[in-house]
Amino acid sequence: MLRELSVSNLALIEDVRVELHPGFCAWTGETGAGKSLLLGAIGLLLGERGSAELIRAGQEELRVTGRFDLTRPEQKSAAKEMLQTEIEEDELILTRRLARSGRSSALVNETPVSITTLRKLGEMLVDVHGQRESYSLLQPAYQLELLDAFGKLTDQRQAYVTAAEGVRELRRKHKELTDHRTTRQRELQLVRFEREELDGAKLLPGEQTKLQQERERLLNAQELAGFNAGVAAKLSEDEGNVVEVLTKLIRQAHQWGRLDKRIEEVAKRLDTLKPEVVDLAETCRDLSESFEADPQRLDEIERRLQQLKKLESKYTKRIDDLIAYHATLAAKEKELQQQEDDLSGIDGRLKVAFAELKETAAVLSKGRAKVAKKLAAEAQKHLADLGMPKAKLDAELTPLPLTDTDDVPVAGADHLELMLTANPGEPARPLRKVASGGEMSRTMLALKTVLAAHDPVRTLVVFDEIDANVGGRLGDVLGQKLSKLGESHQVLCVTHLPQVASFAAYQWTIRKASTAKRTSTTITQLTSDESRVEELALMMRGDAKTDTTLKEAAEMLKASKRGR
């Protein structure tokens, strides 16, 4: 509900702040006082177009702020989904600014939003009926939503929505897989080729380095054998070899060691050195025999190293990196193959899902057909009470196509259009194209009365011109129905009829005050029965009111309280 409305610098309105209440609220006042301006302020707050011409003379900016209490969990949930943010308090503070430069801005809870978002919030929170467009009930999609709620078809609707989402997702996936099929098949072919090629290459960590070392040994086998044989000869085979020299030195050292202990130490060290030299000579002899040319092995190594080099050049990766890359190819191949398999199987799944969609759509359409006429008939009864006894309201359901190629309808395979024949002989027209503001408002009131219990989100209803071309007797009926609607909704009604205003739970008077320099609009709540009787008497007779008029007004207020 709209808890508070503040308006600054809007035409005749300099600075107005009004606190509103739940239930039926009536705004009354003389013609030209500014009632339409206040409704225009609500329209701006809900995303209507604005013009710099609306700004009060001498000012640079107009501002409208509304504080909406989210009294029901459904409202908070819908607002959260629309704004994509958490709502900490159970309220939304909407602000609209319009500068003389033409720049317009909007805030929701102090956060900047687009005018489009503001408009969507308005459609979610408020129904406005009269000269201004309706934010919801005139829209066929919303009419369909309320029809489903009225007919207790929520479960059937949800079953359809779930099935439709499934079909859309399968179609999206099918399109995605199909659109990329050529690229994917080419990529799969490449991945498979690379995986098979690298499988066959049997790459091993460190293999390249080991092969390069072995290649160098084979290329220098003769030189390596000669070197080791030469070392062995010098150490133990040639004349004057190291072992002979050491043997002679050891003997001499022991002889002289008797004269000096230090030389004895030298002798011991020479003793230790001799076995090492003998062992080293044997090692080199063995090594010399191990090095031999092997042209076949050398050819194998050359070919393997050439293969590794080609792979490095082809993949522009070093061998160790190629080994890591090879490890990823099996999973990549499996993923691409799975996508191919998915595409092959998705047609069957889509066929099953589409059959389910048509079945749920048929169940929903059948239920709608049963309750659509009932909704129209019940609303038509209220139209008769509201001074439109010859009007005819009909609910036309038109089938929407469900094919393999068309987009899946959002809320079922039906288009609902509420058709109104206001007077005999006139053609039936879609409700959204009815020209008369009074007929529109009364039809909306009839529908809202029938659907009051089925819309937990849009709890504020604004009526403008609902009493157009309505007399006193019918005014009582209007007042009663607005009062009844006020039990479940906040109803804000601008009215010229005292009979309608008397049924309001709360009433405000809108006046135009002039000074020598400026004219301003004021709005004041009438908090006592005396002030309301005075206002009702003014509405009845204007400044020509008499004591009799006041008594009539008092009786009218008393009677309306009994009739609420």
Examine the pLDDT at 295 and tell me if it is beyond 90: no
pLDDT at 102: 85
pLDDT at 442: 79
How confident is residue 134, by pLDDT bands cut at 50, 70 and 90?
very low
Q: In what side-by-side order are the strands of the sheet with 460-464?
A: 126-129, 460-464, 490-494, 24-28, 506-514, 519-526
pLDDT at 132: 47
Amino acid at 312: E
Location of structure tokens 């989402």: 165
Examine the pLDDT at 371 and tell me if it is beyond 50: yes
Examine the pLDDT at 196 and tell me if it is beyond 70: yes
Residue 14: count of CB within 10 angstroms of its CB: 18
How confident is residue 361, by pLDDT bands cut at 50, 70 and 90?
very high
How far is 103 from 107, CA to CA, in rounded Å? 14
Compute the average pLDDT of residues 390-409: 88
More confident position, 241 or 431? 241
Compute the average pLDDT of residues 42-61: 89
How far is 250 from 272, CA to CA, in rounded Å? 10
Range scoring the smallest mean pLDDT among 21-35, 127-141, 267-281, 422-436:
127-141
Please, are residues 308 and 208 in contact by the beta-carbon 8 Å criterion? yes
Any alpha helices (H) in 202-318, and if so which ranges?
207-219, 221-232, 242-257, 261-290, 295-315
Range scoring the smallest mean pLDDT among 311-320, 339-348, 416-425:
339-348
pTM for this one? 0.63
Mean of the per-residue pLDDT values of the chain: 87
DSSP secondary structure of 514-551: E-SS-EEEEEEEE-SHHHHHHHHHHHHHGGG--HHHHH
Range scoring the smallest mean pLDDT among 24-33, 130-139, 300-309:
130-139
How confident is residue 21, by pLDDT bands cut at 50, 70 and 90?
very high
Say if residue 129 is exposed, middle or buried (CB neighbours under 10 Å; 0-12, 13-18, 19+).
Answer: buried
How far is 357 from 412, CA to CA, in rounded Å? 9
pLDDT at 135: 46
Compute the average pLDDT of residues 314-329: 92
Backbone Cα Rg of the chain: 48
